[in-house]
């Protein structure tokens, strides 16, 4: 009886605290403007000397999260080479210390403790938000600044003073796609939302989509659920199409999302389709083929961004990998860039040699929060005070639309915003 | 000091994993291959994470400063987690233990999946993201040893005594031949459920402390993967004495990190240290595959002790 009462009390309180977090996150996002950053000044041909300054890169190089982690490793490696070619930290080289977090929480903690013991000034990582909730408190207690390259869950910067992120939370990125759809078709009234109930990311992303629909004054006609393992969606589609939607929003993964799009079109749906981040991959092309055409997906990064630093990054990436750089690589690059630029600024201000490691880490954290950066993601700054310090303020977001080629097998993401 | 701040987390994780191995070993004493431990481990973790973030708040509200969460609360959560696990194990034990061998294993895997899917969908468990900001009773992770080590010693001692008690011998009789044991008056159902409940209580208690230890708790903690990992502890360590799963848990948890540390030694050729770093999980997997070929009974077998006992007897005579 006692346990039951405690549990139900806990449930109530849990709900309350969750909604508090949500409010905090939202308030933080309503400070959208930052000072325009000065472009990064590359001093080529400077001879590097002195003890290297270590930056830890603790991301998932193994496990099932490694698909994302490998892209981050590539982005960080490009950044390490690029900034050393550009004169390092006023002539002192930077050294990236890679440690594998694997895909679990214990692995993230082990990797963080290894790089902290190694004497890094800051850490880029870990890959997953769930891992961040385990490992970030350790770095925060040790006074080591952390720049999260891909944590998008609510509550990450709130872990502590030393925790920041370069990855815009899903609550900020996703609504852009709905806004873009409204631009394309201002007559949208009814919206049908689909999401994969058994996928962690999809089930939290859909909450953001539904809130956006309500906020924009659209009619959320129906919410249909499916499983990522489903192949037949006719029941859900019939239910939704009976309500005459002009916009369909899908949160799922590549295979199921692609199939759902295909069947929607086969059932005669002709309106716009917005896809979540799970559909943000070329892997859906073979699934829905020609019927993929026109899916709208919001992005935190666009390789088409014309800033010089992005074009340089894009060139190096394309040369090495033979394809356009993905969001994860760009975010990892940007995370290293933030550390480098803040270190240079701190060196100009006081001189890094004069600081003990612990003081250097603290000063670095204070410095990086108060600067703005011209990164491949566009202009970037941080909330520098309060509970949400370290939350990213990103100057621009992007929306892409899938355009399939005539063969129906290949296609590309065309940026429309 | 430096050693403990870097490896303190690992050392305590090893103790926790050893206890999980033990929790799977107890049902195995009766011959029941139950993979349910991670389910109870997850349940215990959620109980601790929910209580400590919503009920046991500091006076006047707000958050606990790191290192100030009273240990007594952790102990209360641990006891509650143990009780809840016992209750749940009783409920599911009676129907599921009618199954044998591989079918029981399948049913317990299903239980672990149910716990996972429930926690992914319930509001109270934080859905996919889980519960974070679990308050810390210690600043240093190594200090958790004051909770983990006594619990390991107590549970190991308990199992050691159990193996030599009347109940323990009934367990062994059931494992060796259920029909014969029943004919001798050993009640199969009661004893199997008892073993199942004991294993569940231990897993639940380990989960409760682990939620604090990991800072966060989510649906990825007690999964099928963990079931298999814990089973590997028992297979590698040995399934016929309680020391086997303990050794297996300690060794297999330490191995990937030991390889990481070896890779960091100065003066190693670059290719070797790079291979150790990138390929440490390959080495880990290979060892798990190869070890049973050389130690089919696991590293620790009862013969190991018998032979020594015989020898000392011979020497005495």
Please, which residues have CB within 8 angstroms of residue B121's CB and are 6 or more apart in sequence? A197, A203, B127
Chain B partners of A61 at a C-beta cutoff of 8 Å? 278
| DSSP-derived pairing of the beta strands A373-375 and A378-382 | antiparallel
Task: Please report the pLDDT score of residue B60 as a whole number.
Answer: 78
Mind listing the pLDDT tens digit for each residue in B277-313?
888 888 888 988 998 899 988 999 888 887 666 656 5
Contact between A42 and A83 under an 8 Å Cβ cutoff? The reply is no
The token duo for A9 is: 């009390």
Nearest residue in A to B216, CA atom: A134
Mind listing the pLDDT tens digit for each residue in A308-327?
999 999 999 999 998 889 88
Mind listing the pLDDT tens digit for each residue in A199-250?
777 888 899 999 999 999 999 999 999 988 889 999 999 999 999 999 999 9
Chain B partners of A15 at a C-beta cutoff of 8 Å? 123-124
Q: How far is A12 from chain B (nearest CA, A)?
A: 8
Mind listing the pLDDT tens digit for each residue in A81-97?
999 999 999 999 999 99
Distances (CA, A) of A191 to A90, A182, A238, A299, B283: 54, 11, 14, 21, 51
Task: Please report the pLDDT score of residue A24 as a whole number.
Answer: 38
Residue range A133-145: average pLDDT?
95
CB-side exposure of B12: number of CA atoms within 13 Å? Answer: 25
Q: How far is B240 from chain A (nearest CA, A)?
A: 29
Nearest residue in A to B127, CA atom: A200
HEC string of chain A?
CHHHHHHHHHHHHHHHHHHHHHHHHHHHHCCCCCCCCCCCCCCCCCCCCCCCEEEEEEECCCCCCHHHHHHHHHHHHHHHHHHHHCCCECCECEEEEEEECCCCHHHHHHHHHHHHHCCCCEEECCCCHHHHHHHHHHHHHHCCCEEECCCCCCCCHHHCCCEEECCCCHHHHCHHHHHHHHHHCCCCCEEEEEEECCCHHHHHHHHHHHHHHHHCCCEEEEEEEECCCCCCCHHHHHHHHCCCCCEEEEECCHHHHHHHHHHHHHCCCCCEEEECHHHCCHHHHHHHHHHHCCCEEEECCCCCCCCHHHHHHHHHHHHHHCCCCCHHHHHHHHHHHHHHHHHHHHHHHCCHHHCCHHHHHHHHHHHHHCCCEEECCEEEEECCCCCCCCCEEECCCEEEEEEECCCCCCEEEEECC
Mind listing the pLDDT tens digit for each residue in A142-180?
999 999 999 988 889 999 999 999 999 888 888 999 999
Inter-chain contact B5–A129, Cβ cutoff 8 Å? no
Task: Please report the pLDDT score of residue B314 as a whole number.
Answer: 57
ipTM of the complex: 0.89
Q: How far is A73 from chain B (nearest CA, A)?
A: 12
CATH code reported for the domain at A172-299+398-415: 3.40.50.2300
Inter-chain contact A203–B120, Cβ cutoff 8 Å? yes
Task: Please report the pLDDT score of residue B201 as a whole number.
Answer: 98
Mind listing the pLDDT tens digit for each residue in A1-55?
455 554 454 444 444 443 333 333 333 444 457 888 889 989 888 889 999 999 9
Sign of CA dihedral B135, B138, B139, B140: negative
Report the b/e string of A136-166 with b at 16+ CB within 10 A.
bbbbbbbbbbbbbbbbbbbbbbbbbbbbbbb
Task: Please report the pLDDT score of residue B101 as a whole number.
Answer: 79
Task: Please report the pLDDT score of residue B123 as a whole number.
Answer: 87
Residues of chain B with confidence (pLDDT) below 50:
1, 317
Among B214, B226, B263, most A C-beta atoms within 10 A, so best to mutate, is: B214
CA A366/CA A375 separation, integer angstroms: 19
A307 CB burial (10 A radius; 0-12, 13-18, 19+):
middle
* Average confidence score pLDDT of chain A: 88
Residue range A361-366: average pLDDT?
96
CA B13/CA B267 separation, integer angstroms: 29
**Angle between helix B224-237 and B2-29 (nearest 10):** 90
- Where along chain A do the CATH 3.40.50.2300 domains lie? 53-168+306-382, 172-299+398-415
The CATH superfamily assigned to A53-168+306-382 is: Response regulator (3.40.50.2300)
Chain A partners of B80 at a C-beta cutoff of 8 Å? 3, 6
Closest partner CB to B220 (pick from A116, A130, A153): A130
Inter-chain contact B5–A113, Cβ cutoff 8 Å? yes
Q: How far is B211 from chain A (nearest CA, A)?
A: 10
Closest partner CB to B54 (pick from A13, A104, A129): A13
Task: Please report the pLDDT score of residue A12 as a whole number.
Answer: 44
């Amino acid at each position: 009886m006692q346990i039951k009462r405690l549990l139900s009390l806990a449930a109530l309180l849990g709900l309350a605290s969750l909604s508090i977090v949500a409010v905090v996150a939202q308030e933080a996002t309503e400070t959208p403007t930052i000072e325009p950053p000065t472009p990064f000044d590359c001093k080529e041909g400077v001879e590097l000397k002195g003890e290297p300054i270590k930056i830890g890169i603790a991301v998932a190089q193994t496990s099932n999260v490694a698909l994302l982690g490998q892209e981050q490793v590539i982005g960080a490696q490009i950044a390490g080479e690029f900034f050393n070619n550009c004169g390092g930290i006023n002539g002192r080289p930077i050294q990236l210390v890679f440690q594998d977090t694997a895909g679990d929480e214990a692995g993230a903690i082990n990797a963080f403790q290894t790089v902290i013991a190694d004497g890094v000034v800051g850490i880029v990582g870990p890959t997953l938000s769930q891992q961040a909730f385990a490992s970030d408190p350790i770095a925060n207690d040790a006074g080591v600044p952390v720049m999260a390259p891909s944590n998008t869950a609510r509550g990450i910067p709130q872990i502590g003073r030393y925790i920041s992120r370069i990855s815009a939370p899903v609550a900020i990125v996703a609504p852009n796609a709905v806004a873009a759809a409204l631009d394309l078709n201002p007559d949208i009234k009814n919206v049908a939302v689909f999401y994969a109930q058994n996928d962690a990311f999809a089930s939290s992303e859909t909450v953001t989509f539904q809130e956006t629909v309500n906020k924009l004054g659209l009619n959320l006609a129906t919410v249909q659920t499916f499983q990522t393992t489903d192949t037949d969606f006719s029941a859900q589609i019939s239910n939704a199409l009976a309500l005459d939607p002009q916009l369909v929003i899908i949160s799922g993964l590549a295979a199921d999302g692609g199939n759902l799009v295909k069947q929607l079109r086969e059932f005669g749906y002709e309106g716009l389709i917005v896809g979540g981040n799970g559909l943000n991959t070329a892997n859906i092309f073979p699934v829905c083929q020609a019927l993929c055409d026109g899916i709208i997906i919001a992005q935190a990064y666009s390789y088409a961004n014309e800033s010089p630093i992005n074009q340089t990054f894009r060139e190096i990436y394309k040369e090495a990998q033979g394809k356009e750089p993905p969001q994860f690589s760009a975010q990892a690059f940007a995370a290293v860039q933030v550390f480098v630029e803040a270190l240079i600024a701190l060196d100009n201000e006081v001189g890094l040699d004069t600081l003990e490691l612990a003081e250097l880490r603290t000063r670095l954290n204070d410095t990086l929060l108060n600067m703005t950066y011209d990164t491949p993601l566009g202009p970037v700054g941080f909330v520098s005070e309060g509970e949400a310090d370290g939350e990213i303020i990103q100057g621009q977001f992007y929306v892409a639309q899938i355009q399939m080629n005539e063969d129906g097998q290949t296609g590309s993401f065309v940026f429309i915003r | 000091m430096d050693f403990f701040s870097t490896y303190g987390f690992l050392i305590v994780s090893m103790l926790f994993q050893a206890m999980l191995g033990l929790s799977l070993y107890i049902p195995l004493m009766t011959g029941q291959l139950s993979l349910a431990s991670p389910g109870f481990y997850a349940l215990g973790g959620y109980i601790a994470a929910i209580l400590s973030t919503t009920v046991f708040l500091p006076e006047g509200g707000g958050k606990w400063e790191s290192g100030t969460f009273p240990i007594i609360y952790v102990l209360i959560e641990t006891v509650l987690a143990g009780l809840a696990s016992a209750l749940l194990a009783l409920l599911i034990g009676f129907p599921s233990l009618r199954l044998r061998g591989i079918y029981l294993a399948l049913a317990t895997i299903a239980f672990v999946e149910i716990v996972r899917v429930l926690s992914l969908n319930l509001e109270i468990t934080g859905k996919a993201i889980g519960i974070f900001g679990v308050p810390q009773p210690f600043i240093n992770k190594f200090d958790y040893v004051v909770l983990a080590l006594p619990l390991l010693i107590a549970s190991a001692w308990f199992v050691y005594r159990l193996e030599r008690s009347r109940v323990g011998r009934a367990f062994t009789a059931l494992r060796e031949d259920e029909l014969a044991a029943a004919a001798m008056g050993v009640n199969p159902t009661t004893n199997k459920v008892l073993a199942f409940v004991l294993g569940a209580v231990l897993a639940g208690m380990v989960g409760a402390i682990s939620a604090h230890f990991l800072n966060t708790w989510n649906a990825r903690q007690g999964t099928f993967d963990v079931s298999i990992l814990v089973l590997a502890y028992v297979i590698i360590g040995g399934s016929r004495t309680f020391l086997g799963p303990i050794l297996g848990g300690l060794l297999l948890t330490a191995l990937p990190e030991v390889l990481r540390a070896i890779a960091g030694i100065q003066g190693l050729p670059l290719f070797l240290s790079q291979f150790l770093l990138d390929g440490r999980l390959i080495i880990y997997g290979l060892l798990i595959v190869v070890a049973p070929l050389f130690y089919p009974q696991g590293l620790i077998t009862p013969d190991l002790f018998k032979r020594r006992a015989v020898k000392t007897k011979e020497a005495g005579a």
